[in-house]
């Protein structure tokens, strides 16, 4: 498989997670064709649910090509349906209360474009999902690749925590999951600010330390994270499945005459497990395999990565994308560890309200801050 094709499939995976730009290689497909990309999603949360519509663009093009003025509908097998409202940039959203994702029901996505062409998903059953059994960590290290100021590649080894999940779905059929993980990394440092305790003597200056709390939001997943259960003692389980790595960053170089180095003080990982259909699982799995294949005559080609959407008005029309129907369960787990320790602290949180953005504030500890040990 060519490196170009690998890049193409990589970008398709990223689009499915972030609803940005879908790509295709005009050398592989007639560049004159207009290929729609349909990415729909519904879960058992409160919504709104979303559908993203784009025209596939060539690999080296940077601009999105949203599909406008489409009629987008999701319906279930109980006669409920919702017409989605166009919000711009190819995104269509449901109105609150129009339709609700309920495990056990079957959902269908329908899209009609301005030219009259109609695209429809296969009917998709929403499977139920049990609670996540256990989330835990193991101390380890990982290599990270970066570039220096001369553009040269460098490998930096970082210590930290590998995060794992165990799931027990009880007896029954094999289950399929997609895991999505959001991260809030906490740290703190001190700044020394001058105070003038004696108003009559301006030469008397005391440098008082002020604590500064910082937090950084990010994702923990590098690409789509999926896993299926296996049978163990007549139960469907997942054991020691890796969710991601939490690197410990500390350097005395991050200081100056008035600022101390930042000290990591914890990571809060919000893990959501989505119960997928086997078709959706195989779709994601095919893309991951496409990224990892080597040059050989048995490499899969992009056309072998099948979604669950087809053109109802013209069965020969090519269409990309997936309609994902999934129930979900979420768990919040906080970890704390510092280099040199042979164990880590863990807290299972019943609730956690993540901050909206990354930021810092001094003096007052934020309401959402998770404390493991006293800060001096």
Q: What is the pLDDT of residue 238?
A: 96
pLDDT in tens, 52-76: 999 986 544 545 689 999 999 999 9
Predicted local distance difference test score (pLDDT) of residue 21: 41
Residue 201: what pLDDT?
66
Rounded to 10 deg, the angle between the 278-292 and 3-18 helix axes is: 140
Low-confidence ranges of the chain (pLDDT < 50): 1-11, 13-29, 59-60, 62, 294-303, 375-376
Q: Nearest 5°: phi and psi at 314?
A: -155, 100
Q: What is the DSSP string of 103-160?
A: TT-EEEEEEE-TTS-EEEEPPEE----PPP-EEEEEEEEEEEEEE-TTS-EEEEEEEE
341, containing H or E segment = none
Helix (H) / strand (E) element for 354: namely none
Widest CA span in the chain: 88
**What's the pLDDT at 23?**
45
DSSP of 201-266? -TT--EEEEEEEEEEEEEES-SS-EEEE-EEETTEEEEEEEEEEEEE----TTS--SSBPPPEEEE
Taking the alpha carbons at both ends of the chain, their separation in whole angstroms is 56
Distance (Å, whole) CA 364 – CA 316: 62
Integer Cα distance of 3 and 173 in angstroms: 38
* pLDDT score, position 273: 97
d(CA 245, CA 77): 41
Residue 192: strand pairing partners: 209
* Entry pTM: 0.82
Q: Which residue has the tokens 């604590």?
A: 211
């Amino acid at each position: 498989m060519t490196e170009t094709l690998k890049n193409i499939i990589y970008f398709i995976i990223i689009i499915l997670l972030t609803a940005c730009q879908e790509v295709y290689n005009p050398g592989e497909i007639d560049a004159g064709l207009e290929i729609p990309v349909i990415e729909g999603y519904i879960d058992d949360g409160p919504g709104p649910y979303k559908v993203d519509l784009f025209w596939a663009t060539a690999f080296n093009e940077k601009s999105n090509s949203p599909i406008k003025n489409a009629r987008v509908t999701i319906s279930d097998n109980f006669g409920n349906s919702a017409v989605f409202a166009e919000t711009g940039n190819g995104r269509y959203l449901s109105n609150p209360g129009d339709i609700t994702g309920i495990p056990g029901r079957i959902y269908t996505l329908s899209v009609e474009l301005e030219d009259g062409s109609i695209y429809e998903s296969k009917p998709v059953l929403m499977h139920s999902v049990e609670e996540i059994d256990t989330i835990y960590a193991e101390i380890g290290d990982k290599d990270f690749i970066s570039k220096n100021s001369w553009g040269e590649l460098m490998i930096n080894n970082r210590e930290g925590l590998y995060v794992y999940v165990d799931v027990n779905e009880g007896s029954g059929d094999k289950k399929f999951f997609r895991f999505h993980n959001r991260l809030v990394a906490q740290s703190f440092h001190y700044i020394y600010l001058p105070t003038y305790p004696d108003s009559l003597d301006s030469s008397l200056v005391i440098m008082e330390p002020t604590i500064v709390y910082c937090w950084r939001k990010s994702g923990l997943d590098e690409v789509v994270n999926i896993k299926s259960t296996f049978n163990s003692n007549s139960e469907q389980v997942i054991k020691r499945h890796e969710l991601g790595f939490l690197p410990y960053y500390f350097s005395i170089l991050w200081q100056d005459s008035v600022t101390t180095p930042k000290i990591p003080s914890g990571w809060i990982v919000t893990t959501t497990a989505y119960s997928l259909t086997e078709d959706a699982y195989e779709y994601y799995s095919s893309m991951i395999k496409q990224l990892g294949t080597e040059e050989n005559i048995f490499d899969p080609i992009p056309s072998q990565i099948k979604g669950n959407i087809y053109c109802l008005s013209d069965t020969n029309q090519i269409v990309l994308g997936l309609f994902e129907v999934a129930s979900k369960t979420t768990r919040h787990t906080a970890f704390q560890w510092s280099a040199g320790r042979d164990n880590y602290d863990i807290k299972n949180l019943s609730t956690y309200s993540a901050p909206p953005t990354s930021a810092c504030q001094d003096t007052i500890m934020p309401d959402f801050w998770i404390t493991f040990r006293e800060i001096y």
